[in-house]
């Protein structure tokens, strides 16, 4: 239900922008009158992922509509039904034919055709960095269409020793295990200051062991299965790499039960920065807890990644919080909270976590072209 509320809030937010997108008049030298127009970019190709199939579609659809664009959505092949049902609601609401189009299919075929199409003016994609590279290459070999990419992450979550321990443990837990860890901004590089490290690990393990895993339709369950066999196998393989490379498995680490794609809530301690579980996006219920000493050290280590989607810092010292937030190379930084997304706030990545921004007023820039009009006039008053 949280997704549904966020979707409604996003639609209402961008509906309010529909009559507020405009250019400027610009004073220029000479007898000229100059103004700009913000015009719809045109046909938008939207390639959306499986982990939040409705939310990620609406985050693209809403600003595109309010800017006057048409769109073609290629949903993830694992979760096409959500957006197909949404399309029936769009038709019921009375949208003109051709404004919103849904084309289910596989990535290399349907997604590839959309990315390479000469009449598509923008591709907006949420998914892996690997596929994001392919889409950007397709833009370069076709019509140089604009791309907006929200890609992978390996987000640092920094816990200083002055925190409220239970509050920080709870937020760090949610930052990793929410949606079975299948979240691009998951705080999977957890840096904990050394003088509270042992206690933090102990409390984190206790919390992970208590997490209920089972039928996602059962309200008593906190976690369900992973999306499919491929993701299930990838997570277990990375867990095995953590064991082999010397991280300490505190709990979990195996399949839950003997049916379905359920994985135990897993916690590793004594994780080193060069281990695969500390570098690669796992996209599963696996928490890595690393130790640090100083502010300067943790900033350098937190930024030592090819990703830059999100980050967080927990401390009671506001000066420290601001200093760390300003130093982190990430598109979003949370202070004393984790994963708080709002329709008004822009979201996107630094480095290999993406290009462009979604949400907020900034997203409108992705769906418009700016035209400059200069008119010769007899004289200026």
- 251-280 pLDDT, tens per residue? 999 999 999 999 999 999 999 999 999 999
Our answer to whether residue 184 is catalytic in this structure is yes
Residue 31: its pLDDT value, please? 94
The residues near 311 (Cβ < 8 Å, ≥ 6 apart) are 155, 156, 157, 158, 302, 328, 330, 332, 333, 334
CB count in 10 Å sphere of residue 342: 12
Query: What average pLDDT score do residues 176-180 get?
Result: 97
In tens, the pLDDT along 16-38 reads: 999 999 999 999 999 999 999 99
This prediction's pTM: 0.94
CA distance 303 to 193: 17
Binning pLDDT at 50, 70 and 90, where does residue 186 land? Answer: very high
Query: What average pLDDT score do residues 322-340 get?
Result: 98
In tens, the pLDDT along 72-125 reads: 999 999 999 999 999 999 999 999 999 999 999 999 999 999 999 999 999 999
Residue 3 has pLDDT above 90, yes or no: no
CA distance 201 to 169: 9
Residue 130 has pLDDT above 70, yes or no: yes
Residue 323: its pLDDT value, please? 97
In tens, the pLDDT along 142-151 reads: 999 999 999 9
Residue 1: its pLDDT value, please? 58
Binning pLDDT at 50, 70 and 90, where does residue 2 land? Answer: low
184, 250, 264, 366: which one is catalytic?
Answer: 184
In tens, the pLDDT along 335-354 reads: 999 999 999 999 999 999 99
Residue 381: its pLDDT value, please? 72
Structure tokens at 244: 């082999």
β-strands 332-335, 354-355: how paired?
unpaired
116, 148, 150, 366: which one is catalytic?
Answer: 150
Mean pLDDT of the chain: 97
Our answer to whether residue 67 is catalytic in this structure is no
């Amino acid at each position: 239900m949280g997704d549904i509320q966020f979707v409604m809030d996003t639609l209402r937010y961008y509906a309010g922008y529909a009559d507020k997108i405009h250019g400027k008049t610009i004073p220029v030298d000479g007898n000229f009158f100059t103004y700009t127009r913000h015009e719809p970019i045109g046909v938008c190709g939207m390639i959306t992922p499986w982990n939040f199939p409705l939310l990620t579609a609406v985050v693209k659809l809403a600003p595109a509509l309010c800017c006057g664009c048409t769109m073609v959505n290629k949903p993830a092949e694992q979760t096409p039904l959500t957006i197909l049902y949404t399309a029936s609601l769009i038709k019921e609401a009375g949208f003109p034919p051709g404004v919103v189009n849904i084309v289910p299919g596989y990535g290399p075929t349907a997604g590839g055709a959309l990315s390479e199409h000469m009449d598509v003016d923008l591709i907006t994609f949420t998914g892996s960095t690997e596929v994001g590279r392919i889409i950007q290459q397709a833009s370069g070999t076709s019509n140089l269409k604009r791309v907006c990419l929200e890609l992978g992450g390996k987000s640092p979550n920094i816990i200083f020793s002055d925190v409220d321990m239970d509050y920080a443990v709870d937020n760090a837990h949610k930052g990793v295990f929410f949606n079975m860890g299948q979240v691009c901004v998951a705080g999977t590089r957890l840096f904990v200051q050394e003088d509270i490290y042992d206690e933090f690990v102990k409390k984190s393990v206790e919390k992970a062991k208590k997490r209920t895993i089972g039928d996602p339709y059962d309200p008593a369950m906190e976690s369900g299965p992973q999306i499919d066999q491929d993701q299930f196998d990838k997570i277990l393989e990375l867990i095995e790499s953590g064991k082999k490379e010397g991280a300490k498995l505190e709990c979990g680490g195996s399949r839950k039960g003997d049916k379905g794609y359920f994985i135990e809530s897993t916690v590793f301690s004594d994780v080193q920065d060069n281990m695969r579980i500390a570098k690669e996006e796992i996209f599963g219920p696996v928490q890595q807890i690393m130790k640090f000493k100083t502010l300067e050290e943790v900033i350098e280590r937190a930024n030592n990644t090819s990703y830059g989607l999100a980050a967080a810092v927990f401390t009671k010292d506001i000066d420290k919080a601001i200093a760390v937030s300003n130093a982190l190379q990430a598109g979003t930084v949370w202070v004393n909270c984790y994963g708080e997304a709002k329709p008004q706030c822009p979201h996107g990545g630094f480095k290999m976590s993406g290009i462009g921004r979604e949400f907020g007023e900034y997203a409108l820039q992705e769906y418009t072209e700016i035209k400059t009009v200069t008119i010769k006039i007899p004289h200026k008053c």
